[in-house]
Structure formats: structure tokens, C-alpha cells
Structure 1
């Protein structure tokens, strides 16, 4: 559900990134109380077209929620351009209630994250909340950025290092400039991480790994960890950017295969907020698009298979997804799909958005 919220602060983080804070009125505090690591969707209408984008909450979780997100400028990005060049204190933006499963409920243990660029945003909330609430917890943050000047939330991360010197370990890498101290510059790929991680911390003793950032970084870190013997259940991922040139090729091939095997006529039954509907699926459209033709309240944000907002349970029938960068293997094994990427593979398909 979306709520109109007033912008209370716009802070310039770098030349191409801002932190935006929204004022949460008392009557909406419960609705916007988030688990560290969750995200919100922002909505605006420009030239008659609705634009939605998903941004992770950077602020620690608490009883009195602070709704602060980091927004980095994306080339050609309609919402990020608006946020950096036009959005001002006092403006009102439609904000969806927090969602997402890239989370960590504070508990004792040793945790670590490998992040790239704006991937720091949810991990900052995770680390800050964990260290504040759980004295028996430790956190190692390995972050990669292009340059020091492009690094988001520098002060907030430095504050964690000063506040928890014995429990917070920080390792920084920049890919496009040399540093006077720290690790040599260069990208954090699978090969480099395979050698680096065991030198930094006892990999096998880490209770949870959080990987967030561009697709290449997350995939490389996941493969490095799996190669080092880390069980899949301890690795949590969230993609912040997908190279459409690479992913688009795979998606096109997947769609062609699905289209070739799709039934000539399909019907979708979907349950949303306790109400069910039944609609014919038009040629080429995703199941989310089918629902949206009659139910504008269907949940979605990116429509790119990245945020997971449109996750639904497949009650019956079969579907084929073009791409999936949001659901964990355990979720797909349990029967969940991304409606924005799903196309019918049987004449009858039923989805439940409420599970």
C-alpha cells in the first residue's frame, strides 16, 4: 500500500547520489516500521506515466522508524534524475510500505557482507541495527566502490567503526584509483575474493553472508563463498544493478523458449488482498500485466525481476520466468514466482499474492 509522505531532508552524499528522508506521521509508524535490510518503492507520475522505483532503507530499524533511502543517479533513469535534480524538502512522494527478505533480525553471531556501490544501503541498516541491539554480535563489511569520492555513506560507516572498534571490521577497495593505505585497487571478482576472504576472517565461522550490489559482484562473491565451502543457506543476495546487455540476451532466449511452448489460450486466477479474479492472458504479456489490467493495486516496483515486490505463490498450473534475480532457490522450490517475469505454460494458472 502506498502513502503520501513529505520529504523532510535531502542530503547530498556524492556528486551522483543523495539520501532522502521522509517524515512518517504517528498514525503510520506501525506501517513503516521496517526490518533491517528491507526496501520501499517510490511512485510518481510524469507526463501521464506512472514511474515506480525501489530503494533500500539505510537507517537502523527502531520503534520510531526513520525512513531514509540512498538514491544514486542512473544514466537515463527517470526517477533518480528527478530525485537528484528536482526533489526538495516539503515535496510529497507516494511511498509503499517496507518489504523485502534481504534481512537480518539481530542475534548473536559473526556476520559479514560484500557490497558494491549503492549496495551499501541495506547493509548499513543491517550492520547498524545488529551492533546496537546485540552486544554479542560482530560484523565485517567488505565494500567496493569506483573511487573514494563516489563512496556513499562514508560518514555513517566511519561512525560504526568508531563506535564499535572491537566488533566492526571494515575493508574498503576502490576499482579506479590507487589508495595510500588498504588493499590494492581493482575489482572484487571471484578469483580475488577466493584469496582475500580467508585472509580477512574465518570464513567457515561466519553465521551469515550478505551480498549486495551489481550482478557481477554478487555472482562472483557467491561463487567464491561456495568454493570455500560456505553452505547456500548462509548466503543472502540482493541485486542492485543488472547489465541489460547480458541479462537481456538470456531473457530474450528464455522468452522465446517459453513462447514456443506456451498454450494458445491461458486463463489466470489471482488472489490479492483477499479478493480473487479470473482473466484471460493476452499474448506476450506477463502475469503481472494480466492482473494490472483489472487490479491496479497489484504489487510491483521494478518489473525487472530484481526487487521481488511482485512475488506470488503458484497455487496451480505451470509458469516460466524470463529472469529471476530476487528469489532465493528455497523460495522457488517452495512454489514462489515473480509475476512480472512469469508467463503461462499451462492453460490454467493460479497465483496467490497474499501468501
Structure 2
């Protein structure tokens, strides 16, 4: 659900990135509770079609203010956050990021969806590590600060890759982590386009490099959770490296920030000529509608229920995740769902096309 929130602060991080803080009224704070690693969708309504983008929340979660079910003692979380802060990087020809970084001003109102996402690290004792690239640092900032401040028995190793030192988001904040938790936080930085006086030699963090680097940094088998976030190439390379090092799939969590060029998917299952019937349950209400030929499940539902959840429509953010109750679909791309989720019957509505005459989904499932 969207609510109009006032921009309370805009702070420049680098030449092409900013943080934006939204003020949450007291009566809405419970609705905007979030867990470390979650994101929000922002919506802009202009003369043309509405534009939505998802951005990760970068601030730590205060004790008792987490998402439902994330309170340390398993009890009820607190009142919720007073501010929601996200990191935004300006993308070339990025319609929303250009607006957010160059036009948005303190005092403006923006439609903000309540927090979502399953790229979450609930605070607990243990050894954790992350491999991030570029703006992929944003959700991991919240994870690191939350777990280390609330769990004395937790450690965190961060391996980050950026183009140059000048383009590195949250440079000072990460340096502060080293000062606050010198014995529990480890940082390794790599720059792909310039040399640095300390740290790794310049160059990309590819699969071969990560396979040799990670065991030299920490005992890989003892890491309780790996968090991979950033461009598709880096996340895929890190995932393959961890698989080669014998890390169980259940300990690896990933979130893709950018998908540049991906080969067209090989169609599996023929679409229904003339369209199918889509049945959907959303916020406790059900409906049944005919789909247009070639239309995705999300597109069919949106024509009849404008409140259907979505953000990127690219198979990346996972906002449109839904449970497939009956029938079959062809899912073109999936960069958001874990294997356990697809095995349990979850699909991305924006990428799913009916291949049976009737398809039933449950957005509440």
C-alpha cells in the first residue's frame, strides 16, 4: 500500500548518488516497520504513465522497531521508524533516479509503498559475510549496523567492489563501522577502474578471484549467512564461487540491483491462443478475469485491480511475488525468488504467462 510521505532530508553521497529520508507520521509508523535488508517502492505520477522504482533502506533498525516477527524476543515490535532513508544512484537515462537525484526537494511529497523484500538478516549471533557491488551496499548497510549493534556475538565481513574511490557510496559510514567494531567488522575493498594504496589490486571481482580470495579472508564453512547484492554479473560470480567452495545453497541470499543485458529466455510451454482466465486473490478479495493474448498475470490483474503490488516489472525486485494455486505459467525471468520459493509454488506475476486455460494465484499466500 502507498502513502504520501514528506521528504525530510536529501544528502549527497557522491557525484551521482544521494540519500533521501522520508518522514513517517506517527499514525503510519507501524505500517512502515522494516527488517534490515528490505526495500520500499517509490511512485511518481506525472502526465505520462506512472513510474515505480524500488530502493533499499540503509539505516539500522532500532531495537523493537523491526518488521512483524523480527523482534529479538519474538514478541511484538515497537512503534516503527520516524524516518525511512534510501540510497539512490543516478542511472544513465534513468527516469526516476534523475527525478530523485536532481529534481526532488525537501518538503516534496512522494508516494511510498510499505516495506517489502526477503533479502533480510534478522539480528542473531553468528558469523556473516557479504559481497556487494556499487549501490548494492545500501541494504547491507542496514544489515551490518543492525546485527553488530544488537548482537555482541555477531561478526561481519564485507567485501565490496566499486569503480573508483570517488564513486563509492557510504564511504565514511563504512569506515565508521571499522572504528565502532574493530574486532567484529572486517572490510575488504576492490576498485575496478583505479589503483588504491591499500586493499586489493584493481580489477573486477570475478568467480576465479573470489574463489581464491574468500578462503583467505575467513573460514568459509563457518559463515552462517552470505549476502550478495549488486549487478547481476557480480552476484552470479559470487554465487558460483561459493558453490565451488562447498557453501550450502540455504546459506546464500542474493538481491540483484542491475540487469543490463540478459539473453532472451527460451520459451517453455506454449501460451494459450486468445488468452486464458486468471483468478486472483488480493487483500482477501478474489476475482476472475480473461487475459489478453501474450499478457502477463500481473498485467491481467492490474487491468482489473489497480492495487496489485509491483515495482520493477523486470523480475528483479520480487514485489509482485504470488503463490500459484492452480494451473501452469511460463516465467520468463527470475532474479528475485530463491529456489525454495519456486519449489514451494511461488512465481513473479510480472514475468508469468498462462500456459493452461485457467490460472489461479494468491497474492496473500
Q: Normalising by the residue count of structure 2, what TM-score does the alignment of the two structures yield? A: 0.94
> How many residue pairs were aligned?
348
Quick one: distance in 2 between partners of 1:79 and 1:197? 36
Deviation at 1:250, TM superposition (A): 2.3
Task: Check the 8 A contact 2:274/2:292 in 1, yes or no.
Answer: no
Structure 1 segment 226-305 matched on structure 2, within 5 A? 226-243=243-260, 245=261, 247=262, 249-251=263-265, 253-254=266-267, 257-258=268-269, 260-305=270-315
Quick one: distance in 1 between partners of 2:308 and 2:342? 20
Aligned counterpart in structure 2 of residue 312 of structure 1, from 302, 316, 322 = 322
Match of 2:5 in 1: 5
3-state SS, counterpart of residue 46 of structure 1: coil
Which sits farther off after the overlay, 156-165 or 56-65?
56-65
Confirm or deny that 1:44 pairs with 2:44.
yes
Quick one: distance in 1 between partners of 2:329 and 2:250? 25
Task: Check the 8 A contact 1:263/1:346 in 2, yes or no.
Answer: no
3-state SS, counterpart of residue 141 of structure 1: strand
Quick one: distance in 2 between partners of 1:33 and 1:349? 33
Confirm or deny that 1:122 pairs with 2:136.
no
Aligned counterpart in structure 1 of residue 355 of structure 2, from 326, 345, 355 = 345
Task: Check the 8 A contact 2:40/2:55 in 1, yes or no.
Answer: yes
Match of 1:210 in 2: 227
Match of 1:34 in 2: 34
Quick one: distance in 2 between partners of 1:44 and 1:79? 8
Deviation at 1:61, TM superposition (A): 1.0
Which sits farther off after the overlay, 96-105 or 151-160?
151-160
Give the unaligned 5+ runs of structure 2. Answer: 66-79
Task: Check the 8 A contact 1:263/1:347 in 2, yes or no.
Answer: no
Deviation at 1:181, TM superposition (A): 1.1
Quick one: distance in 2 between partners of 1:265 and 1:13? 48
Quick one: distance in 2 between partners of 1:308 and 1:123? 18
3-state SS, counterpart of residue 282 of structure 1: coil
3-state SS, counterpart of residue 118 of structure 1: helix
Match of 1:192 in 2: 209
Quick one: distance in 1 between partners of 2:46 and 2:230? 28
Question: How large is the RMSD of aligned CA atoms in angstroms?
Answer: 1.0
Q: Normalising by the residue count of structure 1, what TM-score does the alignment of the two structures yield? A: 0.96
Confirm or deny that 1:220 pairs with 2:237.
yes
Confirm or deny that 1:327 pairs with 2:344.
no
Task: Check the 8 A contact 2:276/2:359 in 1, yes or no.
Answer: yes
Task: Check the 8 A contact 1:263/1:344 in 2, yes or no.
Answer: no
Match of 2:75 in 1: none
Deviation at 1:46, TM superposition (A): 2.3
Which sits farther off after the overlay, 65-74 or 230-239?
65-74
Task: Check the 8 A contact 2:163/2:191 in 1, yes or no.
Answer: yes
Quick one: distance in 1 between partners of 2:275 and 2:320? 23
Give the unaligned 5+ runs of structure 1. Answer: none
Quick one: distance in 2 between partners of 1:309 and 1:261? 24
3-state SS, counterpart of residue 304 of structure 2: coil
Deviation at 1:285, TM superposition (A): 1.0
Quick one: distance in 2 between partners of 1:109 and 1:21? 31
Deviation at 1:264, TM superposition (A): 4.4
Task: Check the 8 A contact 2:271/2:354 in 1, yes or no.
Answer: no
Quick one: distance in 2 between partners of 1:292 and 1:149? 42
Quick one: distance in 2 between partners of 1:41 and 1:61? 18
Match of 2:166 in 1: 149
Confirm or deny that 1:177 pairs with 2:194.
yes
3-state SS, counterpart of residue 71 of structure 1: strand
